Amino acid sequence: MPRRLTPVLMTALLATGVAQAQPDVPVQLPAFKEGQYVHEAPTVEDLMQDESIHPELRKVILRGRDMFMNTQQFRGEYVFNDLNCKNCHMGEGRLNWSGPVWPAATTLPDFRGKNQHVNSLEERIAGCFSFSMNGNPPAYGSDDMLALAAYHQWLAKQAPVYESNIGGRGFGHLGREMPAETSYANGAQVYQQHCARCHGDDGQGVRLSAQTVFPPLWGDGSYNWGAGMTRVFTAASFIKNNMPLGKPGSLSDQQAWDVALFINSHERPQDPRYTGDAKETREKFNNFHKFTMYGTEFDGQVLGQHDDTGDKPFLKPDALRPRSFD
C-alpha cells in the first residue's frame, strides 16, 4: 500500500509547525484520541492490484462501490430523493470524520438504540435507504444488498472486528448537546455566506443531466425526518469537519451549530415511523427526536405535521421491522 499523507499526519505537522508555511486553507480536522484505532481504508487502486481477491469478488465490490457513488441510478426503486451515499459519506465512504462506512462491517451485529434491537450490516444499510435516501432498501440477501455489504466489508480490510473505539467515526465530535446560544438567525447568515452558492437559496441543491451536483438540504429532494442527519448535532459535526467542501474545520463550532439548526428547521419528507401526529411520533421516538426539531413548533407550524413523503409513494418500507429473540 503506498504511503499517504493522512489527515492525522497533516494535522500533526501543522500542530508542531514542522510544515513549512501554514496554507491559506488548511485541512483542520480533530486530533485522534489516545488509544483509538485509526483505519486507513483501501483505495480502488489497491482493489485493482490485489491479486488475492477473486475476480468475481472484485466485480461485486466494484458493483457496490458504483451503487455507493451513483445511487441515483436507482431513483424510483431504492432512492426517492436526490441523494447519493457519497453525499454524506464523502471520499468514497473512506474518509475519517465524514461517516466512514467500514465500521458498520466490523462493529455489527450489535444493538442499536435507534430501533432497539440487534442489527446486521444489511439492516444498517437498509436504515440509510429508508431514512437518508427516503427510499426502499434493496431486499435483504439480494445481489444489490450483497454488493453494498461487500463494498463495506472490503473497506474494513484489516480493521479489528468489534473494536468500537474508532478515530474519526460517525458525525459526533461536537457532542450531542446543542449550545444554548445556538441561533437560527445566525445560522441563516452562515448559510447565505458559505452554503447557498452551491446548495441554493432554498436548500434545493443543483441537479444537472439527471445527476445531483450539489445535494438538496431540505425539501422533497433531501433526507427525511427520520434520517440521522436531521439530528442537529449530527449535521453540526458533519458541517464542521466537511463543509464548505475542501475547507474542513474552517467554520467555528458555533457557526456549525447555528447553520445545522437553520437547515434542520426546514421541512422535509415525513419520518417513515410517523403515527399521523408529529408531536406523538416525536415522543414515541424521543431517544432520536430529542436531538431534532421534528414535532416542535416553528414559525407557528409544527415541523413534520404533514403527509408529504416526497417522491416516495408510500410511508414506511417493509424492511423496517422489529426483531426479537424472546
Partner 1 sequence: MKTATLGYLLAGALAYCSTAHASDGAGRGQAIAMQGDGSGAPCIACHGLDGAGNDAAGFPRLAGLDTGYLVKQMQDYRSGARQNAVMAPNVDNLDDQQMIDVAAWYASQQPTPASLPEVDTALLELGKKVASSGDWDNYVVPCETCHGPGSLGVGSAFPRLAGQHAGYIKQQLHAWKNGTRGNDPDQLMLAIAARLSDEQIEAVAAYLARQPQQGDL
- List of residues contacting partner 1 (CB under 8 A): 4-7, 10, 23-25, 27, 43-44, 90-92, 94-95, 193-194, 197-198, 206, 208-209, 211, 213-214, 244-248
User: Closest approach of Cβ 162 to partner 1, in Å?
Assistant: 27
The number of C-alpha atoms within 13 Å of 187 and in the hemisphere containing its C-beta is 21
DSSP 301: E
Q: Measure the CA angle with vertex 136, ends 135 and 142; round to 5°.
A: 140
Please answer whether residues 122 and 98 qualify as being in contact, where contact means their C-beta atoms are separated by less than 8 angstroms: no
By beta-carbon proximity to partner 1, the closer residue of 55 and 246 is 246
* Cα–Cα distances in angstroms (integers) from residue 210 to residues 41, 86, 133, 301, in the given order: 30, 16, 16, 33
By beta-carbon proximity to partner 1, the closer residue of 15 and 213 is 213
User: Distance (Å, rounded) from C-alpha 278 to C-alpha 295?
Assistant: 5
Please answer whether residues 243 and 195 qualify as being in contact, where contact means their C-beta atoms are separated by less than 8 angstroms: yes
User: Closest approach of Cβ 197 to partner 1, in Å?
Assistant: 6
Dihedral (CA of 176, 182, 186, 188) sign: positive
User: Closest approach of Cβ 47 to partner 1, in Å?
Assistant: 13
By beta-carbon proximity to partner 1, the closer residue of 65 and 231 is 65
User: Closest approach of Cβ 198 to partner 1, in Å?
Assistant: 7
DSSP reduced 3-state for 117: strand
By beta-carbon proximity to partner 1, the closer residue of 10 and 57 is 10
Cell of 194: 458559505
Please answer whether residues 248 and 194 qualify as being in contact, where contact means their C-beta atoms are separated by less than 8 angstroms: no
By beta-carbon proximity to partner 1, the closer residue of 121 and 251 is 251
User: Distance (Å, rounded) from C-alpha 81 to C-alpha 71?
Assistant: 10
By beta-carbon proximity to partner 1, the closer residue of 252 and 275 is 252
Strand partners, 208: 211
User: Closest approach of Cβ 40 to partner 1, in Å?
Assistant: 9
User: Closest approach of Cβ 87 to partner 1, in Å?
Assistant: 10
User: Distance (Å, rounded) from C-alpha 147 to C-alpha 151?
Assistant: 6
By beta-carbon proximity to partner 1, the closer residue of 212 and 292 is 212
Pairing type for strands 206-208 and 211-214 reads antiparallel
User: Closest approach of Cβ 44 to partner 1, in Å?
Assistant: 8
Cell of 51: 491479486
By beta-carbon proximity to partner 1, the closer residue of 180 and 208 is 208
User: Closest approach of Cβ 211 to partner 1, in Å?
Assistant: 5
Please answer whether residues 130 and 123 qualify as being in contact, where contact means their C-beta atoms are separated by less than 8 angstroms: no
Please answer whether residues 272 and 137 qualify as being in contact, where contact means their C-beta atoms are separated by less than 8 angstroms: no
